[in-house]
């Protein structure tokens, strides 16, 4: 392969990697609060047990987003090439560790690398980080072929990076203090929850249970699925030597059905599932709070005053006694966070179709 072709491939690789980092940073910049929720999962006791950092999750989220965007843009415009490559290599190693940990121990099922725009499994995320790392290492060892930009090009690059970072800052601001300007979530305005639930019911995922059996006499083990276990009488009849090892029982996906976060949309009141009643209502206002304990009595009262004039209103939170002036209902906190990026938050439905979503202070 001659040197000209090598240089062309190197340039193509540089631009490709830059675009990947910019795209990854951008989708997280659109929804920094959603990315902070993902970081809270990593800080939780079941993962790294760093709960004292949860209060700063949004700060970390904004820092990571800005850093990823800055480095991606700098790589695209060839600014501080060696330093940028080194920083990106370190960043990839760090994220590679996180994604490998998530995949190996199955603790965080979605790293949030591309926000809600593109869902990756932990192993897919780890492989993505490895591919990026290999690409960056190739660029590192091909630095001898890199030509520094001319002074005018460098100035233009700095201006380009600056302007694009300002635009990204606006997206981040809106994502924090209002709603994401581009909504990649399942609960975007215009989504018909009834239609989505029908899709889920018509094309459900199929799973099977796999048992690990032990014969204490021979110390032999075997794995069988639920159908084989039921069909093989010798495995469960009285006097059988086989014993199910409960701690090793697992569930495996047989067929992937239709996927949507709306599968978690389930609202209860007084121990009753009222989801269908809400979705069939001609007009209903839902006041969400994923963390009612963080709200003061006055904040809750102000939120209630904003919505209670509507004929049908529910206050949906993780507790059954959050609200005093409107009907209380409960929902899983993680599911609420998928819908609401501020606390409290208002969503309006017309026969199950989302027609409005705003932080409560914007609701009129």
* CATH for 320: 3.40.30.10
Q: Is residue 90, in this structure, part of any structural domain at all?
A: yes
**End-of-domain residue from the set 223, 255, 287:** 255
Q: What is the pLDDT of residues 219-243, one digit of tens each?
A: 999 999 999 999 999 999 988 999 9
**End-of-domain residue from the set 188, 220, 255:** 255
85, 127: one domain: yes
Q: Is the pLDDT of residue 79 over 80?
A: yes
Q: Are 140 and 79 in contact (CB under 8 A)?
A: no
Q: What is the mean pLDDT of residues 2-31?
A: 91
Count CA within 13 A, CB hemisphere, residue 135. 22
158, 92: one domain: yes
**End-of-domain residue from the set 177, 198, 219:** 177
23, 128: one domain: yes
Q: What is the mean pLDDT of residues 197-205?
A: 94
69, 173: one domain: yes
235, 216: one domain: yes
Q: Are 161 and 73 in contact (CB under 8 A)?
A: yes
Q: Give me the pLDDT at residue 145, please.
A: 64
Q: Give me the pLDDT at residue 1, please.
A: 64
* Tokens 């989220």, residue located: 61
Our count of domains for the chain comes to 3
Q: Using 50, 70 and 90 to split pLDDT, how confident is the model at 147?
A: low
Q: Give me the pLDDT at residue 229, please.
A: 93
Q: Give me the pLDDT at residue 314, please.
A: 96
Q: Using 50, 70 and 90 to split pLDDT, how confident is the model at 149?
A: confident
Distance CA(110)–CA(89), nearest Å, equals 22
Q: What is the pLDDT of residues 103-123, one digit of tens each?
A: 888 888 777 788 787 888 888
Which stretch of DSSP H or E encloses residue 359? Answer: strand 353-359
Q: Give me the pLDDT at residue 302, please.
A: 95
Q: Is residue 19, in this structure, part of any structural domain at all?
A: yes
8, 154: one domain: yes
Q: Give me the pLDDT at residue 230, please.
A: 93
Q: Using 50, 70 and 90 to split pLDDT, how confident is the model at 307?
A: very high
Most distant CA pair in the chain, distance:
85
154, 126: one domain: yes
Q: Which residue has the higher pLDDT, 121 or 211?
A: 211
- pTM (predicted TM-score): 0.84
Q: Is the pLDDT of residue 148 over 90?
A: no
- 345: Cβ contacts below 8 Å, ≥ 6 apart: 287, 288, 289, 339, 357, 358, 359, 360
Q: Is the pLDDT of residue 6 over 90?
A: no
Q: What is the pLDDT of residues 87-103, one digit of tens each?
A: 999 999 999 998 999 88
Q: What is the pLDDT of residues 267-280, one digit of tens each?
A: 999 999 999 999 99
Q: Is the pLDDT of residue 45 over 70?
A: yes
Q: What is the pLDDT of residues 242-300, one digit of tens each?
A: 999 999 999 998 898 998 999 999 999 999 999 999 999 999 999 999 999 999 999 99
Q: Give me the pLDDT at residue 109, please.
A: 77
Q: Give me the pLDDT at residue 47, please.
A: 87
Domain hosting residue 316, numbered range: 262-362
Average model confidence (pLDDT) across the chain: 92
Distance CA(345)–CA(335), nearest Å, equals 13
97, 145: one domain: yes
Q: Is residue 197, in this structure, part of any structural domain at all?
A: no
């Amino acid at each position: 392969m001659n040197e000209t072709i090598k240089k062309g491939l190197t340039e193509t690789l540089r631009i490709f990697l830059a675009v990947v980092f910019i795209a990854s940073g951008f989708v997280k910049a659109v929804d920094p609060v959603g990315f902070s929720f993902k970081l809270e999962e990593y800080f939780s006791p079941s993962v790294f047990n760093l709960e004292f950092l949860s209060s700063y999750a949004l700060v970390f989220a904004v820092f990571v987003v800005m850093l990823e965007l800055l480095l991606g843009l700098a790589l695209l415009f060839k600014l501080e090439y060696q330093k940028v490559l080194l920083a990106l290599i370190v960043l990839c190693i760090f994220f590679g560790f996180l994604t490998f940990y998530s995949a190996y121990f199955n603790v965080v099922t979605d790293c949030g690398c591309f926000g809600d725009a593109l869902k990756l499994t932990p192993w897919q995320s780890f492989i993505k980080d490895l591919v990026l790392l290999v690409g960056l290492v190739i660029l590192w060892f091909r630095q001898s072929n890199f030509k520094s930009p001319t002074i005018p090009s460098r100035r233009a690059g700095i201006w380009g990076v600056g302007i694009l970072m300002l635009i990204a800052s606006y997206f981040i601001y809106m994502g924090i203090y209002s709603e994401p300007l581009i909504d990649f979530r399942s609960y975007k305005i215009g989504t018909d929850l009834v239609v989505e639930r029908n899709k889920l019911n018509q094309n459900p995922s199929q799973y099977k249970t796999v048992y690990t059996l032990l014969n204490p006499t021979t110390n032999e083990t075997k794995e069988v699925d639920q159908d084989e276990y039921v069909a093989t009488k010798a495995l469960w009849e009285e006097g059988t030597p086989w014993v199910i090892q409960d701690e090793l029982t697992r569930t495996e996906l047989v067929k992937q059905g239709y996927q949507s976060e709306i599968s978690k949309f389930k609202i209860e009141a007084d121990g009753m599932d009222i989801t269908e009643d809400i979705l069939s209502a001609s007009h209903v206002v839902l006041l969400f709070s994923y963390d009612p304990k963080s709200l003061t009595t006055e904040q809750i009262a102000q939120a209630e005053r904003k919505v209670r004039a509507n004929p049908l209103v529910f206050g949906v939170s993780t507790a059954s006694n959050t609200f005093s002036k409107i009907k209380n209902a409960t929902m899983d906190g993680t599911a609420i966070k998928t819908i609401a990026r501020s606390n409290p938050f208002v969503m309006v439905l017309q026969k199950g179709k989302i027609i409005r979503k705003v932080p409560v202070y914007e609701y009129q």
